[in-house]
Structure 1
Amino acid sequence: MKYLSCFWNKLEEISIVLSLAIMTIVTFIYVVLNSLYQPFLFLAEKYGALKPIAEPIGIFIMTLAMDMTWSVAITKVFFGALIFLGASYGVRTAGHIGVDFVIKKFSTETRRFISIIACLLCLTYVGLILYASNDWLQVMYEADVGAEDLHTFHLKIWHIGLILPFGYALIFMRFIEILIRLFKGQQSDLGLADEASDALKINEEYKE
C-alpha cells in the first residue's frame, strides 16, 4: 500500500510539472514566432539588398506561427488538466483554505466527528462527479467528435475528457486517505490550510 501511495504521489506531481512545462513552452514558442517574423519582413521592405535573405526567413517564421493555430487549444487542455490535478494535490498537501473558525471551538473528539461527516460528504460529491464524468465520457466516445483546433494531433473530445475521471479518482483517493487517518485518530480535521495562522507566522518571522 505504501508503494502504491508513493506511485500515485509521484504520478500526480509529474503530471502537474509536465502540464506546466508544456503550457509554458508552447506559449513561449508561439509568442516568439509571432514576434520574430516582423523584423525580418521590415528589413526586407526597408533594405532591398537584404530582401532575398530576410524575406524568405520572415515568411518561413510567419508560416510556422500560422501553423500553430493549435497552441491556444492545447494550452487550454493542459490548463484544465492542471485544475483537476491541482485540486487533488491541494487536498494531499493541505493547500486548500479551510473555514474552520467555529469548528476549532469544539473539543478534539467533536472536531474529529464533524470532520468525518464532512469527509464523507466530500467523498459523496466526488463520487457523484466521478460517476457522471464516466457517463459523459462514454457518450463522447460513442459520438467520436474531434477536438476543436487539435485535428493535427488526431485528438477527440473523449481523449481530453479522460482528465475528468482521472482527476476525480485522485481526489477521491486523497479523501479516503484523510478518512482513514480520521478514524485512526491521527488527525482531527480535514487538514486544510489555515490562512490566518500562516499569516501570523509570516508576520512573526518578519519581525524577527
Structure 2
Amino acid sequence: MKLLSKFWDKLEEILIILSLSLMTLVTFIYVVLNNLYQPFLDLADYFESLKSILEPIGIFIMTMAMEMTWSVALTKLFFGMLIFLGASYGVRTAGHIGIDVLVKKFSKTGQRNISIIACLLCLFYAALIAYASLEWIQAMFVADVGAEDLNTFNIKVWEIGLIIPIGYTLIFFRFIEILIRLFRGQQTDLGLADEASDALKLNEEHKE
C-alpha cells in the first residue's frame, strides 16, 4: 500500500513538472521564432553578398513561426493540466490557503469534528464536479468535435476535457486520505496552509 502511495505521489509530481516544462518550452520556442526571423531578413537587406543565404533562413524561420498557430492552444492545454493536477498536489502538501480563525477557537475535538464535516463537503463537491464533467465529456465524445488550433495533433475537445474529471478524482482521493487521518485522530484539521502563522514566523525571523 505504501509503495502504491509513493508511486501515486511521484506520478503526480512528474505530470506536474512535465506540464510546466512543456508549457514553458512551447512558449519559449514560439517567442524565439517570432523574434528571430526579422534579424536575418534585415541582415539580408544590409549584406547583398549574403542575401542568398540569409534571406532563405529568415523566410524558413518565419514560416515555422506562422505554422505554430497551435502553440497558444497547446500551452493552454498544459496550463489546464497544471491547474487541476496542482490542485490535487496542493491538497496533499497543504498548499491551499486555510481560513480557520474561528475553527481554532474550538477544542481539539471540536476542530476535528468541524474538519470532518468540511472534508465531507469537499468530497461531495469533488465528486459532483467529476460526475458532471464526465457527462459533458460523453456529449463531446459523441459529437467528436476537434479542438481549435490543435488539428495538427488530431486532438479532440473531449480528450482535453478529461483533465477535469481526472483532476477532481485525484482531489477526491486526497480528501479521502485526509478523512481517514481525521477519523484515526492523526490530525484535527484539513492540513491547509496557515498564512497568518507563516507571516508571524517570518516577522519574528526578520526581527532576529
Determine what percentage of the aligned residue pairs are the same residue: 74
Map 1:109-188 → 2, pairs under 5 A: 109-188=109-188
Query: Structure 2 counterpart of 1:2, which letter?
Result: K
TM-score normalized with structure 1 length: 0.98
Whole-angstrom distance in 2 between the partners of 1:2 and 1:166: 22
Whole-angstrom distance in 2 between the partners of 1:159 and 1:105: 46
Counterpart of 1:99 in 2: which secondary structure?
Answer: coil
Q: Which runs of 4+ in 1 moved over 3 A?
A: none
Map 1:1-208 → 2, pairs under 5 A: 1-208=1-208
The alpha-carbon deviation at position 50 of structure 1 amounts to 1.7
Q: Deviations over 1:4-42 (max 9, x none)?
A: 211211111011000000011000011111111000000
Query: Structure 1 counterpart of 2:57, which letter?
Result: I
TM-score normalized with structure 2 length: 0.98
Counterpart of 1:55 in 2: which secondary structure?
Answer: helix
Counterpart of 1:113 in 2: which secondary structure?
Answer: helix
Query: Structure 2 counterpart of 1:125, which letter?
Result: Y
- Provide the aligned length of Structure 1 versus Structure 2: 208
Q: Which runs of 5+ in 1 are unaligned?
A: none
RMSD: 0.8
Q: Deviations over 1:135-166 (max 9, x none)?
A: 11111111110000001101001111110111
Whole-angstrom distance in 1 between the partners of 2:121 and 2:169: 15
